[in-house]
Structure 1
């Protein structure tokens, strides 16, 4: 691992450790903050209940007769309160009322009536006129069953005659704590990963020029003597490397711009034809024969647009590949026989013969489906450009380390001006028989398949057009 890589990894680990510590502190602090919020709400509730109990004090004695029916009614209420991600269905508030000695006069749950609570923190301090709170588990050794209590004094004519203690199960607000923890953890992890990826991209973008200079300095230090020619070659190599990286980075934008421009150009003509035909069809006096003619034009141009889009998507998927995902030994002789057999029916309609010359075979390594598509494209092109009554010759031979497939037609050949353009996207020549052009994507498709198989394809003139498809032979192991 280089020094640059070690420095980057060290910084990444420091960032990860810092982010993890920050998340840990935030998550650990959620529970205390929610408890503080719940306690603040209980303080106000305790003061309200103390004021309510004070209305029933007679001669310094607390009368709890009205409180019992009140809480029975409260606990019997049915409701549904949606609080963000938590739904509440019942009242969980608890109330204890004690006399001046801390003995329980009323318990909303009916469990502790008559018990001595004078030593519980919130009751003890409330009877002294101070603020007190406690959290106690209803079930021993089960913290999740804890209840938070807050006390408040009950006064009569300025004297403290008792205390109220209002409680709330910790689990009731613990649901919000768990929901907040989950959301904080997910957002924190996603944010940390996003920032790390952004840092990686920026660091590579910023540090790469310095890396090139470091590579050059390392090369100079490794030389015992100064050799200007070798030094110049190394400078050229490093500059070329940096230029290639910059070109690859910009290629994506140029690629998209080129595709949009060429696709727009190709779709403009059929769309104009469709629009013109549709406008003319509005004429009610148009003869039926002419109307059918324009409808046929619309169908034909629509089909052309569909073919362009389909072939464009197919070529785009093919060009996005860097290598073949699945390769296998492919017998080209059998594959070529399939293609020739499949092309003869369509060729017979134009009285064109497709002839397989020789019976040679060769085995290559590649994708059988793609190779069949490439050969079918070449044979179909040859049939389209052959004159009526002509023939297409298809041959295969092993030449040294390569398998060479040749497809020859008897058409007019490739014009000189088109020799360098036939493999460009959307470039197409008019068919001799109909004068129509294809999508101009077939030969681009063939060239891309040849490149993926480490082969090549050429188109020359030899008593017509001669397509040569070359692939490396499968080496014996």
Structure 2
């Protein structure tokens, strides 16, 4: 299981549990909160009625039909009120009045007149000078039929001469409770969904950042080119970690690279140095000092010169290869015209082309532009052109072609030389591997194609080498084709 998935699961569980407990607590508090507010309103109403009914109670007028008609008319009113989306079509308060003994004198429902209510808590506690309230059920055991009663004393001085009690069914406030719970549930669901979405986005973002670092570390461990351009890693801490990894990789690669190249260079320098030393020792022998041995002396001097030149080429190629292998990305990318570059390189080799009586055939596509580093592309194409000159026989033909195929631009160099042996294809771009030149039988440094391969990798292109006979079997030994494929800008 990935780290981002584990973080998301933990985050999701945390949000779910917190949301559940908070929502459950809030839902459970809505009902008692509404009922407490209702009870507070009933207290105010009961005390207002107590003051209103004090004079009728003192004057024994409470049994007058006048008050009974008022209470009856109140019970029949239709408010037709829309309260925050809840329609109210009838009043729900029930009001009854008792004397100082708890006998009901007046009832807005006209269902308890003459009954003894002194045993009910609302009346009983109020007659004792306490706060009187009770909750009863119209249907025993059915919470939905509960009715809240709140009483207030009717006083004359310090004497309690009666009790007025106001009742309200809880079902009348249930629509407000249901509406609040529904809206709260929708809001909570939206918040939970938003929280989970935020967690998913955060997990995706963190996973993307960590994936970049992981891919970078894997590429480095596999020896591939890897760089972290500025801006790819968004967070400060991860960017610092990426920079630390980059610095560590650079230090380790630099030490390993130097060690490997010192060993390689020492190994490759042995052969030409041994040839130079042997030729120099022979030149110092008395036998070769005689005038009649002038031809042998000249041959040994030529060996020293050729081996020295070989050393120079080897060192130059190694330096160029080290440059491109250490480079992680293009330093100075610009638009390069491959047609013009090929013409320039051909012009540089015109003396050799004329000496070998070679023919150069060109077939250029218009606007053969690629994005790359001019220096590296010049070196790479020059290496291919030198190989073509080495392997093309006297009077042969070298063909250069630029061809656009969709988003790809290809540079093809073909020579009329011997086909490449099958066993050599797998090693053509291997460092220090080289085939003997047909004219001299000598091998090159074996770094040219390796350099070209590195340059194409840096330019996100491809190098391919085929025998033309494999493309056109009817024309055996037609030569070799090298193709550089670029992504067109």
TM superposition score normalised by structure 2? 0.47
TM-score (norm 1): 0.48
Larger Rg: 2
